[in-house]
Chains A and B, each alone.
Chain A
Amino acid sequence: MSRRVVVTGIGMVTPLGIGKERFAQALFQGDSGIGEITAFDTSRFPSHLGAEIRDFSPRDLISAKNLRRMDRLSQIAVASSRLALEDAEITINIANRDRIGIIMGTSFGPTDLKVHCARILFTEGPMMINPILVPNSVMNAPAGHASIELGFRGVNTTVNHQAASGETAIVYAAMEIERGAADIILAGGADIISEFLFETLVRFRALSPVNRGKEGARPFDAGRNGPVAGEGCGIVCLELMEHARERGATPYCEITGWGMSSSPATPTDWPADTRGATLAMMRALKSANCVPDGIDIIQAAANGGENPDRIEADAYLHLFKAEKTIPVISSIKGALGESFSSGGLRAAALALSIREGMIPPTLGLADPIAPLSFIIDKAKKIDIRNGLLNAFSYGGTNVSIAMRKVTIR
């Protein structure tokens, strides 16, 4: 008998707010988290917008003893983890702590800290780097801090693979629960904007307005001219269905399948065609035992990038060309920018959509590039049974996760 995996909690620190209530309200209301960047001066760059985390006070969610050892990336990850556990109504104790774990994704890690260390290395000398900072400079620090602050001792690892890190973390967490390695795993992703990362993205011509037009995030829009940088952390609490049922939890949805694939591309480029994206979705549908026709909503990867949005739209046209009904396609990156390891946040958004029967609007989209079904102005209520969460990253990494409405009991 196969072990089924459900989502029983979500937690997040985002430009749209901290925690589920504020996030859901802002998301379905159609609020935007994008504004002029305030953390540093952008006057020397052609891009000035960003989706920055606001009103986050880590002291509310993290003990002082551990907080003082954490950098900003770890803070948002640990706070989100606590919120996800609280939302799932799970209390860590001696009896359950070895069966609870975390799998985090991060694309760039603590770039602020790494650049600081490199600066000290070359200006003051290698032996002047503060040893307190060293443990935070590794990508797995957020997951390590979360385990110490929250006290769970089970499976713990960190995926670091471009803009598919968060989704891959969720896939791995579901696999670990399925094979019996854990009962509960927090999974998701976190990334932060630092001045150096922003400058690097600008220099790689990776941000709006790459060449032309007004700066802004416009997923799937004909006038799109690059993504807006975002930051945030989203964590979903994955749990063995039996375990959730025994403790009387109400799941948001079930993770029914997933597909992963690669497309040939260098680490900073996009694939030339739709094959990899289509392959990942077909693998997800197959493992979920679902047909394309059965999908009601797709939480898309599109961020307003010129090539990637085109390829993604083409992949949907291809996958659904023979179907009578096509799913509604939604991208929350119009509101939240491209936060790279956005998998946890987007999984949380999809879980909310499935539970509430509500699809958030794709902000910035006015003139769709393809005859697909989009929600443009305001959130729409529809009954959702099956959803797909897609990540299609530069470097050619594709992950598709199938999620389904569930009623246990």
Chain B
Amino acid sequence: MYRERVVITGLGTVNALANNIVDFTHALQGGLCGIGPITLFDTADFRTHNGAEVKNFNPQDLIPPEFPLKRMSRADLMAFAATIEALSDACLFPLPDALREDTGVVIGAGSGGKLEGESFYRDYLESGGRNARFSKLASLCPAASADHITNHLGLMGPKTTFMTACSSGATAIGFARDLIERRAAAIVIAGGVEPLCRTTYASFNVLQAVDPEYCKPFDKKRQGLSLGEASAVVILESLHHARERGVSIHGEVLGYGISCDAYHMTTPDIKASGAARCIQAALADAGISAAAVDYINAHGTATPANDVMETRAVKNVFGAHAYRIPISSTKSMTGHTLGASGALEAIVSVLAIRQHFIPPTIHLHEYDPECDLDYVATGARQVTPDIVLSNSFAFGGNNTALILGRFAEKGIQNE
């Protein structure tokens, strides 16, 4: 079967560091922290109070006035704002009519409209069901974000939503790649979205997985993750379509792999077999050797279990090369954006390739003895990565690894 090469021609995001790609790039280069006190809801009754909240998010500033924003949840609005930015970046906004049938949407989601659903449910409980407006639930389903995108833009290509907790966004990009590769679509709006909400925040709190301060990936004193929120959207396109349009290419999706721990619902398999197998599957899919990888954007949640497991997985796959590859966890800046994180970190990886830098792991001061790789702890590094591996490991043992590369006409040449 002939496979189309799939390239990235547009990027868009709303996250705790910035509400657009330019500011996001600067924040990553400067090693800024987006984690602080949560203001979206009252955290008085929670064990912790910090999170990586999106700031100064005014949808009407980011979304053109022709789109009615009624009945869209915070998640839908964040996803749509990022979509508009990504399409504009790809010179696809407004989208030509001729492309509507051939443009799809694949979103990795998490809580969807839960923040609004929670206020509904509080009213429901207080009034015994009488004064609650069920219309508030219209966008409760995580699929609503993709539905709003296709509805607003009049798209008729393939559409779906993945919900695999922390690996949703990465899987969405992988599936979108497959759709284009086999010509089920020429363009796919792919990404992830996750809003902060009370139930998610409570869930990680009762699991004691949240660092009360801010997350410190790979650090000896790490206590857990910092929950965050974000939307992250990439425009994927067949190489030949992008060439025909003469548009600038940000990078290429070289491969991806999915595996399952089949071990425990919330604890990663400490032997790191599942994580290693998805990385190996991604390398094989990309047709590259482990030695070709220049940078690893780690899952790096800063939970005690993940960081040791992930370090082990990298050593298992890369052998001696593991010590030479820069690795960083940008969750130290953006927080862990769960359903969005795989897509957000794919954007980070593309920015690293495009802007010639490796973003740092901030808040890492004292290495855990079991975490002894090069985590880029002292600020961004000016190098030129060509091939980046981005890891996402989720509850349920769902692992997805993405490999993104600098676009080269001839494709990747193995050394």
Which residues of A approach B to under 8 Å, CB–CB? Answer: 2, 69, 97-98, 101-102, 106-109, 114-115, 117-119, 121-123, 125-127, 129-131, 134-141, 143-145, 147-148, 151-162, 164, 168, 172, 175-176, 178-179, 181, 199-200, 203-204, 259-268, 275-276, 279, 283, 287, 395-397
Contacts and interface: CB of A to CB of B under 8 A. Distances in A.
Contact of A395 (B104, B144, B262): B144
B161 A161 contact: yes
B395 A129 contact: no
A44 to B, nearest CB: 9
B67 interface: no
B281 A153 contact: no
Interface in B151-197: 151, 154-165, 167, 171, 175, 178-179, 182, 184
Contact of B150 (A172, A178, A396): A396
B341 interface: no
Contacts of A145: 265, 396
Interface stretch (B58-66, B200-208, B349-357): B200-208
Given A131-B206, A157-B398, A397-B160, A162 B143 contact: yes
Interface stretch (B12-20, B133-141, B290-298, B369-377): B133-141
A155 B258 contact: yes
* Contact residues of B: prevailing secondary structure: mixed
A42 B273 CA distance: 48
B43 to A, nearest CB: 9
Contacts of B281: 181
Contacts of B157: 260-262
B95 to A, nearest CB: 13
Contact of A115 (B45, B105, B121, B163): B121
B138 A268 contact: yes
Contact of B397 (A148, A162, A395): A148
Contacts of B208: 131
B259 interface: yes
Interface of B: 1, 45-47, 71, 101, 104-105, 109, 117-118, 121-122, 125, 129, 134, 137-139, 141-144, 146-148, 150-151, 154-165, 167, 171, 175, 178-179, 182, 184, 198-199, 201-203, 205-208, 257-266, 273-274, 277, 281, 285, 394-398, 400
B265 A118 contact: no
A138 B163 contact: yes
Contact of B395 (A97, A108, A138, A172): A138
Nearest to B260: A156
Nearest to A1: B1
B206 A262 contact: no
Contacts of A178: 1
Contacts of A397: 143, 147, 159-160
Contacts of B105: 262
B171 A157 contact: yes
Contact of A117 (B104, B158, B203, B262): B203
25 contacts: A101-B260, A102-B260, A106-B163, A107-B141, A114-B199, A117-B199, A122-B125, A137-B203, A138-B163, A138-B165, A144-B396, A145-B396, A148-B262, A148-B263, A156-B259, A156-B397, A160-B142, A161-B146, A161-B161, A203-B134, A260-B179, A263-B150, A267-B141, A267-B144, A268-B138
A115 B138 CA distance: 16
Contact of B104 (A129, A148, A203, A260): A260
A397 B147 CA distance: 8
Nearest to A2: B1
Nearest to B263: A148
B149 to A, nearest CB: 9
A165 B206 CA distance: 30
Nearest to B103: A262
Contact of A69 (B1, B202, B265): B265
A140 B265 CA distance: 10
A35 B132 CA distance: 29
Contact of B262 (A122, A153, A159, A287): A153
A154 B158 contact: no
Contact of A127 (B45, B134, B182): B45
Contact of B202 (A98, A121, A157, A263): A121
A53 to B, nearest CB: 22
Nearest to B274: A153
Nearest to B201: A126
A155 B261 CA distance: 10
A97 B259 CA distance: 11
Given A145-B265, A160-B141, A179-B285, 11 more contacts: A118-B118, A131-B208, A140-B395, A144-B395, A144-B397, A147-B260, A157-B167, A159-B163, A161-B146, A262-B159, A264-B154
A123 B125 contact: yes
A156 B258 contact: yes
B109 A160 contact: yes
B178 to A, nearest CB: 6
A101 B259 CA distance: 8
A139 B398 CA distance: 12
Contact of B164 (A129, A157, A275, A276): A157
Which among A125, A176, A267 has the greatest number of chain B C-beta atoms within 10 A? A267
B206 A130 contact: yes
B137 A200 contact: yes
Contacts of B164: 138-140, 143, 156-158
Nearest to B46: A126
B201 A153 contact: no
Contacts of A266: 71, 138, 147-148, 151
A211 B105 CA distance: 35
Contact of A199 (B46, B129, B143, B274): B129
